[in-house]
Structure 1
C-alpha cells in the first residue's frame, strides 16, 4: 500500500500559471451548486455533556446529528486552545520550508506515511491540487519517526501533545455515541484502542485556475470518526447528503466531525440508528487550508 511519486503541487503553483492536465477536473467546473445555504450542519456543544442538567439533551442532539447527517461541528471541546494554536503554527511553518527539506520526508514504496500525495495508484489518474503530510500518531509504537519533521524544532512535541488530546476527546465522544446506540461503550472504544490514529495535514496552494481543480476528490472516510481542523476559516469543504451538496462553514475553534464507514457498517455497531452515509468534497480555494 502506498502512492506513486508525483510532482509537488506547491512548486507547480509557484512555477507556472498553467495547471498541468493531470490536475484538470471537469467535475470541478460542472459543480451543480449548493443546497439551501441557510441549512447548516448540526453543532454539538461538548461542554454540555459534562453538565448533568444538559447532558441528556445534548446526547439526543448528537444522536440525531449522527443519524440524519453523519457529520457535525464540535464546539467547547476539551482540546486546549494553546495546543491547537501551536500545532497550527508549526504546520504552517513546515509547509513553508524549502522543497528539498520537505522531500527528505517523502513517502516510500509501500507506505502511505510521509510527504507527498495520497492514493496515487496509476500514472494516468487525475490528481488532487494538494500536498500532504501523513503520519501515524497513536499508539506510540505505530509511529515511524523517520517521517516526523524535525523542522520547525517544536513540531514533534506539538504533534505528540495534539494527538494525545485528540485521542482523549475521541474516546469520550465514541463512548457517548455508543450509549446512544444502546451499546456497551467498550464495544466501540475497544475497537478504537486496537486501531491506529493517523493525522493527515493537507496543504492547498493558491491555484491560478482554481475553478478547474479539486483540492481533494469526493470520498467517504473509512475509519470510525474523523476530526477535521482548519487553519483558517476559508470555506472549501462540502458534504453530499440526500443527493445535494452543502458547504461547511467552520466555526472558530471547532472540530468538524465525520462519522466513518467502519462505524456505519461494522456488524456490532449496526442498528436502525446507524449513521447516514456522507460523501465529502473539498474544492480548492485561492487561499491555503491545512
Structure 2
C-alpha cells in the first residue's frame, strides 16, 4: 500500500483521502488522520470527495453575493443574537476575542475591528436556527447553490468522521450516529482589500486568534493566503497554512477536544496578511474562504469517548449536550 502521507505544510500533514474512500487502505488513512488531529489539530486532505466544480461554483456565487450593494445584502440580516448564526453580517460587526484574559489586551483587541463580511446558512428545516435568505427574486440561484453545497459538505463530513472513528479504534459509524441532524453551519467569508500597514500594526484585523466550537471544520480557501495556525507546543508562535490546490483543510473543534478527553487538539488559528506580501499600492489583496462547521446533533448528550480515559487518565469532563455546549460558547464569544 502506498503511503497516505504525501507531504506537509509547516508541520501540518497532507493526507491522500482516496484510499479511505475507495477502501484500499482505510486504516492507514484513519491512523494518519488521528495522528494529525492528536499532534497538530489540523490536516490537509486531497482527493477528499468534494467535487472541484462544486467548490468553484460556490466561490463564484459567494463573490456574486458580496458584490451586491450593502442595502441588498442587508435584506438578509444576521440577528443581533450571538446564538443565531444565519444571514449576512457586515464588516466590523463581529469581533472574536478568544483565549485572551488580560483586560487591557482584550480592550486593545476589541478596538481593532475584524474587517470581514459573512453570510451563514444551514439546513432548511432547522428548528434551532432558521435560515435567513434574500427576498425571493433577488440573486436567483444563490439559495439553491448554498443548500446544495451544504449537503455536499455534509456527505464529506460523514466520511471524515468515519475515518476519525477508525483512527480512535471505535466502530466506523460511532461518530456518525451523533451527527445525523445535521446541526451545521456553512459560512461564506469575504475579507476586503485593506491597507497592509494597518494589518501589520494591529489597527485592524481580519479575524483574531480563535478556536472553533464544534466537532470539526472543513475549510475551502482561495489562493490569497493569510490563514495561520498556532504551534500547539509553542503558544503564540503562528505559521502560515498556505493554500494547496485541490485540498481542503480540516481541523478539530473544541467540542471534539472535550469529547476525546483532550486526546485530540482544537488548535488556535487566525487570519492576517499573507506572508511575504509586497504590495506596490500598500494594499493587501481581498480574500474569500468557505468554512463548513460540523457539530454533534443538538439533541445528543456525549460523554468522553471510549478509549480516551482510564484509571491513570481519568475523565476530565462531565457529559454535556451539544446544544448546551455550543450555545454557551457562542453567547460568550460574540
Give TM-score, length-normalised by structure 2.
Answer: 0.68
The SS at the match of 1:140 is: coil
CA–CA separation in structure 2 for the residues paired with 1:92 and 1:255: 19
Q: Tell me if the contact between 2:17 and 2:46 (Cα under 8 Å) persists in the aligned partners.
A: yes
Q: Residues 60 and 148 from structure 1, CA distance in 2 versus in 1: closer, same or farther, beyond 3 angstroms?
A: farther
The SS at the match of 1:193 is: coil
Q: Residues 206 and 262 from structure 1, CA distance in 2 versus in 1: closer, same or farther, beyond 3 angstroms?
A: same
CA RMSD across the alignment = 2.6
Q: Residues 205 and 192 from structure 1, CA distance in 2 versus in 1: closer, same or farther, beyond 3 angstroms?
A: same
Equivalence for 1:214: 205
Equivalence for 1:247: 240
Q: Report deviation, 1:73.
A: 0.9
Deviation readout 1:148-200 (Å, 9 max, x if unpaired): 57643221111111111100100011011012112234442122224511011
Equivalence for 1:280: 269
Equivalence for 2:216: 225
Greater length-normalized contact order (CA 8 Å, ≥ 6 residues apart)? 1
In the alignment, is residue 160 of structure 1 matched against residue 147 of structure 2?
yes
Q: Report deviation, 1:119.
A: 5.2
Equivalence for 1:20: none
Q: Which is helix-richer, 1 or 2?
A: 1
Deviation readout 1:230-263 (Å, 9 max, x if unpaired): 1x21110001021221110111121111111111
CA–CA separation in structure 1 for the residues paired with 2:21 and 2:174: 22
In the alignment, is residue 264 of structure 1 matched against residue 257 of structure 2?
yes
Query: 5+ unaligned residues in a row in structure 2: which ranges?
Result: 1-7, 98-105, 275-283, 289-334
In the alignment, is residue 85 of structure 1 matched against residue 56 of structure 2?
yes
Q: Aligned match of 1:58 in 29, 42, 64?
A: 29
CA–CA separation in structure 1 for the residues paired with 2:96 and 2:36: 33
Structure 1 segment 3-42 matched on structure 2, within 5 A: 39-42=10-13
CA–CA separation in structure 2 for the residues paired with 1:214 and 1:123: 14
CA–CA separation in structure 1 for the residues paired with 2:96 and 2:40: 29
Runs of 4+, deviation exceeding 6 Å:
120-124
Equivalence for 2:88: 115
The SS at the match of 1:63 is: helix
Q: Report deviation, 1:215.
A: 0.5
CA–CA separation in structure 2 for the residues paired with 1:279 and 1:149: 37
Equivalence for 1:173: 160
Q: Report deviation, 1:146.
A: 3.1
Equivalence for 2:225: 235
Query: 5+ unaligned residues in a row in structure 1: which ranges?
Result: 1-36
Q: Report deviation, 1:139.
A: 6.3
Equivalence for 2:20: 49
Q: Tell me if the contact between 1:138 and 1:197 (Cα under 8 Å) persists in the aligned partners.
A: yes
The SS at the match of 1:239 is: strand
